[in-house]
Amino acid sequence: MKIDLKKSLYSAFACALIIGASASPSKAAEVMAPSSLANSGQLTYAVAATFAPFEYMENGKLTGFDIDMITEISKRMGLDPNPMNMEFKGLIPSLQGKRADIINSGMYIKPERAAVVDFIPYMRVGNQLVVAAGNPKNVQGQDDLCGLKIAVTLGGFQEGLAKEQGAKCVAAGKKETEVLTYPSAQDAALVLQQGRADAIFNSTPGAVKQVTALPDVYAIGGKSFGPYFLVGIALRKGDTEMKKAVEAGLKSIQADGTFDALLKKYNFPKEAKNLN
């Protein structure tokens, strides 16, 4: 049997092109992914999914603004998002131990945190008091917390805020607030629901979601207040390659309207993206 070598080579080349085309991604990555990743092909992020509407569990699945945001940023890099859900106190150690590439967990940018990790800010939020429905203790502001029980997340920003308010109460000759600490914001909210606490602190968007979801259980206690904080994605100190990639991904979703669509989806005010 005579074999046409030229035709055989052509056919093999054509097949290789077809296979290569089908194996390649349908859309090239917009952003150059970092060369060093905790897990190849994935953007691995540490998250404490107890801070709605930033990140929380719903029907056994991670959801929230941050979860959707990092999924979109990962797409721009051509990577799959890989969440590591844990307690809040474990976030920074997991990043420093290189088990995670970033922290994506609605983390407030505070000086003590900025001393050990780098940040990419993406949102600005204030604070709100949440009380039981009907506001039985008539809490209209922080000064009304003197002598009351405040449930907070252990190690979270609100713990420090509650303790500061307790010191102010003592300085004013009033009874100190009793600060009750729990592993997660959900635990603190449950304690309030059960009547074992009088109030909790929440972010302004978090309070809106909480009260909207359970209006017969929770209510807003007074107006929102400062300090206002920037919220950021945390990275290892000096990891310039990762920072450049995540910043580029964030700019991409901001430019094409994805970021604004997520603000609307999770009922954040548009002012939240004003970082000044």
- The domain spans of the chain are 42-125+230-273, 126-227
What percent of the chain has pLDDT above 70?
90
pLDDT at 249: 97
Structure confidence at residue 4 as a pLDDT band (50, 70, 90) = low
Cut 0.75: pTM above it: no
Percent of the chain scoring above 90 in pLDDT:
72
Higher pLDDT pick, 184 / 169: 169
User: For the chain, what is the mean pLDDT?
Assistant: 89
Residue 17 confidence class, pLDDT cut points 50, 70, 90: very low
- Token representation of residue 22: 């089908």
Number of Cβ within a 10 Å radius of residue 136? 11
How many CB atoms are located within 10 Å of the residue 207 CB? Answer: 23
| 42-125+230-273 and 126-227 share one fold | yes
Whole-number Å distance between alpha carbons of 108 and 257? 24
CATH superfamily, region 42-125+230-273? Periplasmic binding protein-like II (3.40.190.10)
Question: What is the reported pLDDT for 138?
Answer: 96
pLDDT of residue 26: 36
Residue 245, pLDDT > 80, answer yes
- The reported pLDDT for the residue numbered 112 is 95
Mean pLDDT computed over 178-205: 93
Higher-confidence residue of 6 and 178: namely 178
Cis geometry, peptide bond prior to residue 111 (ω within 30 degrees of 0): no
Give residue 165's pLDDT.
Answer: 94
Q: What is the CATH code of the structural domain delimited by 126-227?
A: 3.40.190.10
pLDDT for 28 equals 60
Asked whether the beta carbons of 240 and 32 are under 8 A apart, the reply is: no
The amino acid at residue 272 is: A
